[in-house]
Amino acid sequence: MSYLFTSESVSEGHPDKVADQISDAILDQFMALDPDSKVACETLVTTGQVVLAGEINSNVYVDVDTTARRVINRIGYTKNEYRFDGNSCGILNSIHGQSDDINRGVDREDRMKQGAGDQGIMFGYATKETSNYMPLPIDLAHALLVELADIRRMKDSPMPYLRPDAKSQVTIEYSDNGEPLRIDTIVISTQHDEFILPESETKEAQDCADSAMHDRIAKDIRKYLIPRVKEYYEEIGLAKLFTDNFKLLVNPTGKFVIGGPYGDTGLTGRKIIVDTYGGKASHGGGAFSGKDPSKVDRSACYAARHIAKNMVAAGVADEMLVQLSYAIGVAEPISIYVRTYGRSHVEMSDAEIAKKIASIFDLTPYGIEQRLNLRQPIYEETAAYGHFGRDPKKVTKHFESFHRDPFDMEVELFSWEKLDYVDRIKKEFGIH
């Protein structure tokens, strides 16, 4: 019997994602100037206000206020009518130094013995369901919002009323053996201008204007957004999932003018399922944004995804979950766990696969940092539309500082998505 599975995503203008992007942009500024910085930056955004908190040890000074304002303006909060904009919002900075009790377990004279920055369990996952080895529901949920943001930013946008805040939700029908059959439901909630005004001050006139706005948005979503996303999935052979009878729900409350940090307070780290696998895989509970790679709840999740993706791509299994666990101040992982859901293609138990992984990958915090080149300013780009399933690429980023003249730096984004261990894994597992 078939079953339904649902994942959601949120746009870069969602309050929690605004907070994530500010935290990661501040992290990038420190990493660009002092790659050994220890950063744990938390952000709160609400009506007209940004609060920065956390612990940072670094040899450089960063203008965190300017960084936060740049991010807010880049996202699109640039108008007073949003009740939150980058030029006028207040910023309270309560960042202080990192605890010496934590730092003593991380910094070592021998970098190879660098301890984990905290205890915890971290998961990585991959599946052959899509070309980027991500579960289809979260992949499609992200794609819808990426395209919606592109439409919002178009010079002559066919949807000129769009505002930055948005959410998506996708329900996929699967067969008994886990194959996606069709899209059952797509939900799009998007913030918008009050672009149709009532003819009078009566409730009936307001309801009529609200209904007209809703009908226009729903029509435009079906006319402009869905075809753009469907075209992308045609390129990877999944357009057949867009049947004629899928349900499309647009702004189900009927109106979404009040949004962003004015409509809802945002906090760093509240969208950890959006950031990962949309609920299709386990999650250890640790957030990513604002944390330097000594914090294994970030770096070890990247490492676990890198392992799972390369293992699936090499043909070890069609689906794989990898769990890593660490103790604060200890370099080697406490445990490695693998689950292949009965979809393995090698004559080994999941426990034996886990032991083989330990012999192939250096899973010490320093080893992960070096293999994935994590001590670069690469994190702001991760803070919206998911940390996984993205295209690894080199880009040039621009930085400004009180310490030196403005400078450009070439960095590699999403290195944990590279399929650079496939050949070695095939050799180790005897896959031809």
- What tokens were used for 97? 């130094």
SS3 assignment, position 322: strand
Do 143 and 386 contact (CB within 8 A), yes or no? no
| pLDDT for residue 154 | 96
Region 422-429: what's the mean pLDDT?
97
Rounded Cα distance between 398 and 409, Å, is: 6
Residue 430: left if φ>0, alpha if ψ -120 to 50, beta else—which one?
Answer: left
| pLDDT for residue 53 | 97
Task: State yes or no: 391 annotated in a binding site.
Answer: no
- What tokens were used for 199? 């003819």
Quick one: which of 319, 306, 322, 334 has its CA closest to 424?
306
- What tokens were used for 12? 């870069």
Rounded Cα distance between 13 and 27, Å, is: 19
Rounded Cα distance between 43 and 267, Å, is: 6
**For residue 334, how many other CB atoms are within 10 A of its CB?**
12
Quick one: which of 216, 365, 219 has its CA closest to 301?
365
What is the CA angle 257-260-266, rounded to 5? 150
Q: What is the pLDDT of residues 273-302, one digit of tens each?
A: 999 999 999 999 999 999 999 999 999 999
Task: State yes or no: 167 annotated in a binding site.
Answer: yes
Region 46-52: what's the mean pLDDT?
97
Half-sphere exposure of 98 (CA within 13 A, CB side): 23
Do 133 and 313 contact (CB within 8 A), yes or no? yes
104: pLDDT strictly greater than 60? no
Q: What is the pLDDT of residues 193-246, one digit of tens each?
A: 999 999 999 999 999 999 999 999 999 999 999 999 999 898 888 888 998 889
| pLDDT for residue 357 | 97
Task: State yes or no: 166 annotated in a binding site.
Answer: yes
Q: What is the pLDDT of residues 351-407, one digit of tens each?
A: 999 999 999 999 999 999 999 999 999 999 999 999 999 999 999 999 988 778 899
Task: State yes or no: 139 annotated in a binding site.
Answer: no
113: pLDDT strictly greater than 80? no
Task: Compute the 3-state secondary structure of the chain and give helix, strand, coil in percent, each to the nearest 5.
Answer: 35, 25, 40
Q: What is the pLDDT of residues 1-38, one digit of tens each?
A: 899 999 999 999 999 999 999 999 999 999 999 999 99
| pLDDT for residue 238 | 84
| pLDDT for residue 100 | 57
Region 61-79: what's the mean pLDDT?
96
Task: State yes or no: 295 annotated in a binding site.
Answer: yes
Do 336 and 354 contact (CB within 8 A), yes or no? yes
Do 84 and 78 contact (CB within 8 A), yes or no? no
Mean pLDDT of the chain: 94
Characterize 132-169 residue by residue with b for buried, 16 or more Cβ atoms within 10 angstroms of its Cβ, and e for exposed. ebbbbbbbbbbbbbbbbbebbeeeeeebebbbbbbbbb
Task: State yes or no: 270 annotated in a binding site.
Answer: yes
Task: State yes or no: 292 annotated in a binding site.
Answer: no
Rounded Cα distance between 256 and 193, Å, is: 8
> Which domains does the chain possess?
3-8+136-258 (3.30.300.10), 120-126+293-429 (3.30.300.10)
Task: State yes or no: 356 annotated in a binding site.
Answer: no
Region 145-163: what's the mean pLDDT?
97
| pLDDT for residue 97 | 81
Task: State yes or no: 156 annotated in a binding site.
Answer: no
**DSSP class per residue in 264-288:** S-EETTS-HHHHTTTTSS---S---
Weakest-pLDDT range from 23-27, 79-83, 112-116, 333-337: 112-116
Quick one: which of 219, 220, 242, 218 has its CA closest to 229?
242
Region 240-268: what's the mean pLDDT?
94
Q: What is the pLDDT of residues 298-323, one digit of tens each?
A: 999 999 999 999 999 999 999 999 99
47: pLDDT strictly greater than 60? yes
Distance linking the first and last C-alpha atoms of the chain: 35
Rounded Cα distance between 95 and 51, Å, is: 9
112: pLDDT strictly greater than 70? no
Give me Rg for the CA atoms of the chain. 23
Task: State yes or no: 231 annotated in a binding site.
Answer: no
Task: State yes or no: 426 annotated in a binding site.
Answer: no
Task: State yes or no: 79 annotated in a binding site.
Answer: no
